[in-house]
């Protein structure tokens, strides 16, 4: 039972480190805060339009994504987005499981964001 409580508590802590923001709130957050803006789409998608200041790190290339994340500060805010919101959720979970504590995800992805 103690193991179950530890696992469940850990999952709760992990989930609290991921905050999903609507496009307006995401825009405000990246304009006010320092941090890394991470586009987790493919290079081809990245070339079609990007939030200014974003770096591209395709989450579907999991090993590359994990290797790149080792260079990022775990205490610095990370602002994640993809095309529709699914891949950024995956990226947020990966970062959270690996010790990142300030993860902000664009709800609905860049498709609902005015560039």
- Sorted by where each begins, the domain ranges of the chain are 2-112
| pLDDT mean over 94-100 | 95
Q: Which residues pair with 39 in a beta bridge?
A: 56, 81
Query: Which two structure tokens, joined as six digits, stand for 114?
Result: 């005015």
Quote the crossing angle between the two packed helices 62-69 and 86-97, to the nearest 10°.
50
| DSSP state letter for 92 | H
pTM summary value: 0.84
pLDDT at 1: 44
Name the CATH superfamily housing domain 2-112: Rhodanese-like domain (3.40.250.10)
* Terminal C-alpha separation, the chain: 49
**Rounded to the nearest 5 degrees, what angle is found at the Cα of 106, between the Cα atoms of 101 and 88?**
70
Q: Is the pLDDT of residue 77 over 50?
A: yes
pLDDT for residue 12 is more than 50: no
Q: Is 70 helix (H, G, I), strand (E, B) or coil?
A: coil
Phi-psi category of 53—alpha, beta or left, where left has phi over 0 and alpha has psi -120 to 50? left
Of the two residues 115 and 88, the one the predictor is more confident about is 88
pLDDT at 90 over 90: yes
């Amino acid at each position: 039972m103690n193991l179950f409580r530890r696992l469940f508590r850990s999952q709760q802590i992990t989930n609290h480190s991921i905050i999903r923001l609507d496009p307006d709130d995401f825009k405000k957050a990246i304009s006010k805060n320092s941090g890394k803006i991470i586009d987790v789409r493919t290079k081809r998608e990245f070339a079609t339009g990007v939030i200014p200041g974003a770096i591209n790190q395709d989450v579907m290339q999991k090993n590359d994504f994990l290797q790149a994340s080792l260079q990022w500060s775990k205490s610095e805010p990370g602002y994640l987005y993809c095309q529709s919101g699914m891949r950024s959720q995956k990226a947020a979970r990966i970062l959270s499981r690996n010790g990142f504590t300030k993860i902000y995800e664009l709800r609905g992805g860049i498709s609902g964001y005015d560039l």
